[in-house]
Amino acid sequence: MTKHNGSKPEVQERIGVYVCHCGTNIAGTVDVVQVAEWAASRLKTRGVVIARDYKFMCSSLGQELIEKDIKELGLTRVVVAACSPHLHEKTFRTACARAGLNPFLCEMVSIREQVSWVHTDKEAATIKSQAAVSGGVERVIHHEALEPLTVPINPATLVVGGGIAGIQATLEIADAGHHVYMVEREPSIGGHMAQFDKTFPTLDCAACILTPKMVDVGGHPNVTLMTWSEVEKVEGYVGNFSVTVRKKARHVKTEDCTGCGICQEKCPKKVIDEIYEAGLGYRKAIYTPFPQAVPRFPVMDVDNCIYFEKGTCKACEKFCPTNAINFDQQDEIVTLEVGNIILATGYDIFDARRVSNYGYGRLANVFTSLEMERLTNAAGPTNGNIVLRDGKTVPEAVGIIHCVGSRDRNFNNHCSVICCMQSLKFAHMVHERTGAIVYNFYIDMRTPFKDYDEFYQRVMEEGTLFVRGKVAEVTDATRLPGEEGKLIIQVEDTLAGKQRRIPVDMVVLSVGLQPRQDSNETAKLFGISCSANGWFIEKHPKLDPVATMTEGIYIAGCAQGPKDIPASVSQGAAAAARVLGKIEQKEMALEPVRASVIEEKCSGCRICNDLCPFNAITFHEDRMVTEINAALCQGCGTCVAACPAGAIYGTGFNNEQVLAQIEGLLLLNVGDEPVPA
């Protein structure tokens, strides 16, 4: 029941209010001088002893202003009206701490993101800023001095995903002398890069630059490589994660296997290789995806193995010179203790079948870019010969279509970043190897990085024809002479300003990159967030691109968004640097904004028990009460909101603080008319 309020008790605190101009960012829309004056006069009875405005509060001079006032005026609370706390809360908390005030007695009021940037009416924006400051003042009165919790950091790191980003991160950390567990769900590390032939714009052979790194990972004394394995559970918190990994049964005893390959040779069962060969080639039922696979041990595909199907065969076992085959092997569950985790789980390619008007899956000689990678690869199913689906005909004309599934509101709005360059690479290779006429159909040509545009110019000079326009259709329905037996690309050439029908023998769809189809589950497993379309969300898009909102979990490579190899490598290295920084700290302070259960009030209704995204909640059956592990809790407030009995206390966001802030926002504290909605 609402207690009768009566008059507000006298405020004992001495509060300083600091209003930032942020250059013209705030001062352009908000009369900051007026806000400070208003706070000084109207909020005097609410404990405000000083209110100042300053050009840049975050500058060292601005901070010194606060520090000086804390010392000279004996401030017990500080309110900074400036940008979002995401940006400078730490700055001002540190300033308070320097002056001897507990940093958690500082409150930030966002009058930039929440006021000046979203309003144009200066008068209204000024009034709104005053209300926001008033709310901040009422709230800060109820702040408590908090002490951060320190936890030791386990120096071991888990890297999930063995593509180039994960490999880079692993090697950086392992070379620095710390242990790394690398978990990869496929039989070998290498990722998508291992499928490529050449890399743009320098045209180095992908395998030549990748496989040495793979070998390094495989043989590194500081790396425990776990392929054919998946993470099943993550518990704990930064510095002390406990990760459960399922090592799927390979049916090969890795301690005995020499990787000689005889089992693969003798296995009578051929299976279409949908993953590594993109469906263009075969593998056996016991296989390594490619000759340079790391580790060298094969895995048995039990869904296709004749022995598992019919109970006889065992050819691999008979021929294995070291008796390394074990049909009875079971999955193994391993628990890893690590301090930090890097997620480099990569991407899926867009399913070209979804653009039905391009005929992929229906018209034989329409290929995806990944198939094209395999066709051009010297170690691929055609030994690098670019031929049609029949396996022998060399095309005389090839059309490469950009932006398939990207920059298209029917599929994905995003630009997949790599497709222009990959299409140019294919144009070059087709030209070089077949002498065919090559058309590139593009919407916009995007070649922004080092040497990329030079490569574009080179491909143009080689004679590739560029048509600017989005392809409407790829069809085998011939209409005009010369079209028989060809695939016709119907396109509006927006530079020529006319519709064109271009007959070709082969069409390559430069398909976009998409988040892994299970990226949402992965994010949930590790307690991080995904954007609406499924890319992992970084802590800050510009200033903190490899960290996440969950401390101790970092992201690298295409799992965060489409990017090329250099960018993935940079992110892998960046994430590793962040982890090494954490390891070097040896212990770390956790933000003390935490939830805790008031035991006497908890009735054990168990509503909160399944809600914690960080697994910080345990239920004690014997006492019928719930407990929150302070080190695991990230202070998200989910349980605080859910507790019907109000038995969970959220530091920094308790009822008193929130309700006082609302009263302040509504100007009930100064007896003013509420701000109109």
Partner 1 sequence: MTAPNGKKPKFAMYWAASCGGCEIAVLNIHEKILDVDANFEVVFWPVAMDAKYKDVEAMEDGSILLTLFNGGIRNDENEHIARLLRRKSQILVAFGSCACEGCIPGLANFSPAGEIVHTAFNTVSTDNPHQIYPRTSFDVPEGEITIPKIYPTLRTLDQVVDVDYYMPGCPPESHQIAAVIDLVIQVLQGKAELPPKGATIGAGDSTVCDECTRKRNVKTIKSFHRIYDLDIDPELCLLEQGIPCNGPATRSGCNARCVSAGAQCIGCYGPAEGVVDYGARLIAAFASVIDSNDPEEIEAILDGIPDPAGQFYRFNLAGSLLKAAKPAWEKA
Q: Compute the least distance from the CB of residue 634 to partner 1, in Å.
A: 17
Q: State which residue, 382 or 529, has the beta carbon closest to partner 1.
A: 529
One residue of 3, 310, 392, 409 binding partner 1 per CB under 8 A: 3
Q: State which residue, 85 or 613, has the beta carbon closest to partner 1.
A: 613
Q: Compute the least distance from the CB of residue 641 to partner 1, in Å.
A: 5
Rounded distance between C-alpha atoms, residue 150 and residue 588, angstroms: 5
Per-residue CA distances from 71 to 76, 107, 177, 181 (Å): 10, 18, 45, 50
Q: Compute the least distance from the CB of residue 6 to partner 1, in Å.
A: 8
Q: Compute the least distance from the CB of residue 66 to partner 1, in Å.
A: 33
* Interaction between residue 521 and partner 1 (CB under 8 A): no
For 293-354, the DSSP string reads: -SS---EE-TTT-HHHHHS---HHHHH-TT--B-TT---EEEEEEESEEEE---EEE--GGG
Q: Compute the least distance from the CB of residue 643 to partner 1, in Å.
A: 7
Nearest to 452 by CA among 93, 132, 201: 201
* Interaction between residue 611 and partner 1 (CB under 8 A): yes
Rounded distance between C-alpha atoms, residue 139 and residue 580, angstroms: 38
Rounded distance between C-alpha atoms, residue 113 and residue 130, angstroms: 15
* Interaction between residue 353 and partner 1 (CB under 8 A): no
Q: Compute the least distance from the CB of residue 408 to partner 1, in Å.
A: 25
* Interaction between residue 4 and partner 1 (CB under 8 A): yes
Q: State which residue, 35 or 602, has the beta carbon closest to partner 1.
A: 602
* Interaction between residue 619 and partner 1 (CB under 8 A): yes
Phi then psi dihedrals of residue 368, to 5 deg? -90, 165
Query: Burial, 93: exposed, middle or buried (Cβ in 10 Å; 0-12, 13-18, 19+)?
Result: buried
Rounded distance between C-alpha atoms, residue 74 and residue 68, angstroms: 9
Name the token pair of 77.
Answer: 């609370």
One residue of 607, 630, 631, 666 binding partner 1 per CB under 8 A: 607
The distance from CA 186 to its chain's CA centroid, rounded to whole angstroms, is 20
3-state secondary structure of 43: coil
Q: State which residue, 281 or 637, has the beta carbon closest to partner 1.
A: 637
Q: State which residue, 270 or 601, has the beta carbon closest to partner 1.
A: 601
Q: State which residue, 503 or 604, has the beta carbon closest to partner 1.
A: 604
* Interaction between residue 409 and partner 1 (CB under 8 A): no
Rounded distance between C-alpha atoms, residue 593 and residue 467, angstroms: 57
432, containing H or E segment: helix 419-434
Phi then psi dihedrals of residue 181, to 5 deg? -100, 120
Q: Compute the least distance from the CB of residue 658 to partner 1, in Å.
A: 9
* Signed CA dihedral, 29, 35, 37, 38: sign only: positive
* Interaction between residue 272 and partner 1 (CB under 8 A): no
Q: State which residue, 118 or 645, has the beta carbon closest to partner 1.
A: 645
Name the pairing type of β-strands 617-620 and 625-628.
antiparallel
Rounded distance between C-alpha atoms, residue 666 and residue 441, angstroms: 58
Q: Compute the least distance from the CB of residue 526 to partner 1, in Å.
A: 17
One residue of 610, 622, 673, 676 binding partner 1 per CB under 8 A: 610
In this structure, the dihedral spanned by the alpha carbons of residues 195, 199, 203 and 208, taken in order and rounded to 10 degrees, is -60
One residue of 43, 580, 608, 633 binding partner 1 per CB under 8 A: 608
Rounded distance between C-alpha atoms, residue 655 and residue 130, angstroms: 22
Q: Compute the least distance from the CB of residue 629 to partner 1, in Å.
A: 17
Rounded distance between C-alpha atoms, residue 219 and residue 493, angstroms: 53
Q: Compute the least distance from the CB of residue 608 to partner 1, in Å.
A: 7
One residue of 114, 254, 609, 618 binding partner 1 per CB under 8 A: 609
Q: State which residue, 108 or 639, has the beta carbon closest to partner 1.
A: 639
- Residue found under tokens 């990760």: 243
* Interaction between residue 532 and partner 1 (CB under 8 A): no
Nearest to 77 by CA among 99, 62, 110, 53: 99
Q: What mask of x and - would describe binding to partner 1 in positions 468 to 507, judged by CB under 8 A?
A: ----------------------------------------
* Interaction between residue 435 and partner 1 (CB under 8 A): no
Q: State which residue, 505 or 663, has the beta carbon closest to partner 1.
A: 663
Q: State which residue, 642 or 675, has the beta carbon closest to partner 1.
A: 642
Q: Compute the least distance from the CB of residue 642 to partner 1, in Å.
A: 4
Q: State which residue, 4 or 479, has the beta carbon closest to partner 1.
A: 4
Nearest to 321 by CA among 241, 271, 393, 258: 258
* Interaction between residue 7 and partner 1 (CB under 8 A): no
662, containing H or E segment: helix 655-665
**Stretch near partner 1 under the rule CB under 8 A, chosen from 150-158, 206-214, 575-583, 608-616:** 608-616
Name the token pair of 101.
Answer: 């005030």
The region that residue 116 occupies, defined by phi over 0 for left and psi between -120 and 50 for alpha, beta otherwise, is alpha
One residue of 270, 540, 606, 623 binding partner 1 per CB under 8 A: 606
Q: What mask of x and - would describe binding to partner 1 in positions 630 to 669, judged by CB under 8 A?
A: --------x--xxxxxxx-------x---x----------
Q: Compute the least distance from the CB of residue 207 to partner 1, in Å.
A: 41
Please work out the total of residues on this chain that contact partner 1, with binding judged by CB under 8 A. Answer: 30
Triad 370, 375, 381: Cα angle to 5°: 110
Q: State which residue, 592 or 604, has the beta carbon closest to partner 1.
A: 604
Per-residue CA distances from 104 to 183, 186, 363, 459 (Å): 39, 47, 65, 59
Q: Compute the least distance from the CB of residue 639 to partner 1, in Å.
A: 8
Q: State which residue, 494 or 603, has the beta carbon closest to partner 1.
A: 603
Q: Compute the least distance from the CB of residue 470 to partner 1, in Å.
A: 32
State which of positions 576-605 bind partner 1 (CB under 8 A). Answer: 598, 600-605
List residues bridging with 79 in a β-sheet. Answer: 17, 107
- Which residues of this protein are in contact with partner 1, per CB under 8 A? 1-4, 6, 598, 600-611, 619, 624, 638, 641-647, 655, 659
